[in-house]
Amino acid sequence: MMRSMYSGVSGLKNFQMAMDVVGNNISNVNTTGFKASRVTFENTLSQLLKIAMSPRGGIGGTNAIQIGLGSKIATIDRIMTQGAFQNTGKKTDLAIKGAGFFILSDGKRNYFTRAGNFDVDTDGSLVQLSSGLKVMGWMSELDKESGTRIVDSNKPVESIKIPFGLTMPAKETTKMDLSGNLNSNVGFSSFDITLKDNSSNPHDVHVWFSRGAEISSNPNDPFSEVQRYVYYVDQDGDGSPDAAGVLKMDKFGNVKDAGVNAPVETGSSSATTDGTLTLNLANSYYGDYLVALKGDDGTVIYTRASVDGNTITVNDDGIKSGVTYSWKVISIGDGKATTSPLTVTMTGGSGTVTDPAYNFNGYYKVLLKDPATGEEVYSTTVKVDNSNTINISAPVDDGSYDVEVYQYYGDKYEVSDGADLVVSRTGSPKFYEADDPTNFIVPDYTTPKYVTATTVYDSLGKPYQLYLEFVRLGNLDENHRNVWIWRAYLPTGESVSYLDKDGNSLNGSIGGVINFDKTGKIDAYGNIKGGKVSDIDWGNGAKKISFSAKDNGDDVVSIALNLNGVSQFAGEFSAATKFQDGYSTGSLESFNINDDGDIVGVFSNGRTDLIAKIALATFNNPAGLTDVGGSLFVNSANSGSPMVGEANTGGRGSIVSGALEMSNVDLAEEFTKMIVAQRGFQANARVITTTDQILNELVNLKR
């Protein structure tokens, strides 16, 4: 028999095997996670007819003469390239982007697959739908100290079970982080107005506003809905206030009270020491006053002063020894104008009260009180010109009354004869000319108050609506030019206490204080020790708040506030709580799977927590795995042992939820292989038929 017959037979068998592989690939073109295979051939043993000879004498060398005896299957390789993804929208459909295999188990043996068409069975286990094999990973455990769930991926893998009915215990709020902006451009905008005197001569008047140092002695609640502003009037353009007044605004931007005062005294003094100037007044005064200085070197200084007597000492770095300063003292307070208990005897609706210790000059509010009950009987406003006596006219019964005298404000300021500036005391903050009300200015106003709210929780999970209120003061002193005060309050009425960073109580504090530097960042913290912002303690900032929840079965709730993320720029208010760590109790409602393989539970309280983590396995030689059907593999002697770990670590791929990996079979390539196999089979068949014809001719020789 001829050798070619057997060579042709081996070719037929091999190409038949190649067609089997192609057929299997094509049949699995839509199999989830399928990896295509390929066939490679190699030749079989060759028969040696003549050995190779080396060169000798004058004859060159000759090659060996060999006849091949056909082909055989060398390998059937599995191609482990990444398949494309098919989006399904089902969260338990998982695909692996990169290397790795899901681990499945029947309780006795582990299997490996790229097909992630999983679902949850009746007891919550994550399983492969077709086989019921359980998906392996690690279940989370509750860390009792932190209250969060963690996964220990160093432990052996276990079946994953979604614990429907799982409850998350409540957690008390212990810290809050705030971020966003506090608008620096609040309050009033300065303006200019031109007034005409009786001779129609124009007078340009500049008005500007301030808070800060001028408000620091205000006896009213600094967080009151009525906010107090001091404004200054400059009629000669030298930058020094010629008059001063007060505007009190409610939260709706309406004027609650207003007025303006001319100087009670003017004079001139020379500084003998840098930074200090003493003013000797002709009369004694009590209360809050503006002191405006203009030096003969052109410097302008104005500051607030609390006066009790006939001298005022002004401390300011701008004061220079040897410079003569003209000065004005202007009432800007609305506190008491006397310290002495005063009484008046009213007869026929008139009476006179005298305080020999102090001089009255300007406008005052006078209150008459019943000495027996302390109840207010009547109030009136009077104007006094350099006198320690106040004449009172009031429709009250004859008799003796207690008297309280408060600084107040005039209705208008005379810039020149017939040119009077008036400020409205109700409605819009309107400045106008007394004899021409059509000549007016309504300055732009933005409230300095800003409130943000967030929900916090006690240890039993009871929610509380906590409000944080910020109020801009502005310039307090040289080192604190962008000051805001803040407080916390609850609408349910729980009293809020303030603590320092170490949790020590700031007894008597009514709120915190922050100062921003010129870059808009917080550079100092303080607290308001009493009811006045003049009592700011910059050395011990309020960093924590606490309130009692005992009426609800809990104890004190203490919250550390992180304000470092708050900025101050000339932009919209946006400061808000970006994080607080408390929450109420909740039950598991659903879950999601992220690219790290974390199964994250979504609870009814709006929180999320880690339930489990899906494990992935890699192999040194994944093509060496043994296919056991059902899109499953087991490790073999040549695949290596599985290296189990978390997704996105150790060369393992990431997990894509809501998608499945498609087969990596390329139909164009498979059809090409099919043609090659068909033609190869035909060619080998021709070898057999041709050999048969040759043998037939040999047989015919005998005929």
298 and 213 together in one domain:
yes
| Angle (CA) 392 396 401, round 5° | 70
Q: 195 burial class (0-12, 13-18, 19+ CB within 10 angstroms)?
A: buried
- Is pLDDT above 90 for 118? yes
What is the C-alpha separation between 505 and 527, in angstroms, rounded? 11
pLDDT on residue 3: 81
307 and 253 together in one domain:
yes
Q: 630 burial class (0-12, 13-18, 19+ CB within 10 angstroms)?
A: middle
User: Are the C-beta atoms of 71 and 10 separated by less than 8 Å?
Assistant: yes
Q: Could you tell me if residue 495 is inside a domain? A: yes
Cα 379 to Cα 369, 391, 398: the distances in Å are 9, 13, 16
User: Are the C-beta atoms of 459 and 554 separated by less than 8 Å?
Assistant: yes
pLDDT on residue 304: 85
- Is pLDDT above 60 for 213? no
389 and 455 together in one domain:
no
Percent of the chain with pLDDT over 70: 98
Q: What is the pLDDT of residues 539-582, one digit of tens each?
A: 899 999 999 987 777 789 999 999 999 999 999 999 999 999 99
pLDDT on residue 702: 76
Q: Could you tell me if residue 680 is inside a domain? A: yes
- Is pLDDT above 70 for 531? no
Q: Could you tell me if residue 649 is inside a domain? A: yes
237 and 95 together in one domain:
no
DSSP 354-395: E-TTS-EEEEEEEEEE-TTT--EEEEEEEEEEEESEEEEE--
Describe the crossing of helices 667-700 and 3-27 by its angle, rounded to 10 degrees: 160
Burial 434-454 (b: 16+ CB within 10 A, else e): beeeeeebebebebbbbebeb
Which residues is 513 bridged to in the sheet?
A: 485, 526
396 and 257 together in one domain:
no
Q: What is the pLDDT of residues 30-72, one digit of tens each?
A: 999 999 999 999 988 888 888 999 998 889 998 988 888 888 9
What is the C-alpha separation between 552 and 46, in angstroms, rounded? 95
Query: Which of 407, 431, 457 represents a domain boundary (last residue)?
Result: 407
R_g (Cα) of the chain, nearest Å: 47
- Is pLDDT above 90 for 697? no
pLDDT on residue 454: 96
Q: Kindly give the pairing relationship between strand 175-183 and strand 556-569.
A: parallel
The helices-and-strands tally (H runs, E runs) of the chain is 2, 55
Find the mean pLDDT for residues 404-413.
Answer: 93
What is the C-alpha separation between 399 and 395, in angstroms, rounded? 12
Query: Which of 548, 580, 612 represents a domain boundary (last residue)?
Result: 580
How big is the chain, counted in residues?
703
Q: Could you tell me if residue 549 is inside a domain? A: yes
pLDDT on residue 1: 56
pLDDT on residue 220: 57
Q: Residues with Cβ < 8 Å from 531, sequence gap 6 or more? A: 219, 221, 222, 510
423 and 289 together in one domain:
yes
Q: Could you tell me if residue 324 is inside a domain? A: yes
User: Are the C-beta atoms of 614 and 159 separated by less than 8 Å?
Assistant: no
DSSP 128-191: ETTT-PEEEEEE-EE-TTT--EE--TTSPPEE-B--TT-EEPPB---EEEEEEEEESS-EEPPE
pLDDT on residue 630: 93
Q: Could you tell me if residue 470 is inside a domain? A: yes
Of the candidates 347, 359, 362, 356, which has an alpha carbon nearest to the alpha carbon of residue 392? 347
Q: 202 burial class (0-12, 13-18, 19+ CB within 10 angstroms)?
A: exposed
Query: Which of 389, 424, 446 represents a domain boundary (last residue)?
Result: 446
Residue corresponding to tokens 């050395």: 539
Our count of domains for the chain comes to 5
Q: Could you tell me if residue 145 is inside a domain? A: no
- Is pLDDT above 60 for 216? no
Q: Kindly give the pairing relationship between strand 632-634 and strand 643-646.
A: unpaired
289 and 264 together in one domain:
yes
349 and 401 together in one domain:
yes
Q: Which domain holds residue 547?
A: 175-184+448-580
User: Are the C-beta atoms of 355 and 313 separated by less than 8 Å?
Assistant: no
Categorize the per-residue pLDDT at 293 as very low, low, confident or very high, splitting at 50, 70 and 90: very high
510 and 366 together in one domain:
no
Q: Could you tell me if residue 528 is inside a domain? A: yes
Q: What is the pLDDT of residues 227-277, one digit of tens each?
A: 888 999 999 999 999 999 999 998 889 999 999 999 999 999 999 999 999
- Amino acid at site 111: Y
First-to-final CA distance of the chain: 19
Categorize the per-residue pLDDT at 483 as very low, low, confident or very high, splitting at 50, 70 and 90: very high
- Is pLDDT above 90 for 348? yes
301 and 349 together in one domain:
no
415 and 268 together in one domain:
yes
pLDDT on residue 217: 46
Q: What is the pLDDT of residues 427-458, one digit of tens each?
A: 999 999 999 999 999 999 999 999 999 999 99
Find the mean pLDDT for residues 469-490.
Answer: 91
Q: What is the pLDDT of residues 494-524, one digit of tens each?
A: 899 999 999 999 988 999 999 999 999 999 9
537 and 621 together in one domain:
no
> How does DSSP classify residue 531?
S
User: Are the C-beta atoms of 19 and 11 separated by less than 8 Å?
Assistant: no
pLDDT on residue 664: 95
Q: What is the pLDDT of residues 76-90, one digit of tens each?
A: 999 999 999 999 999
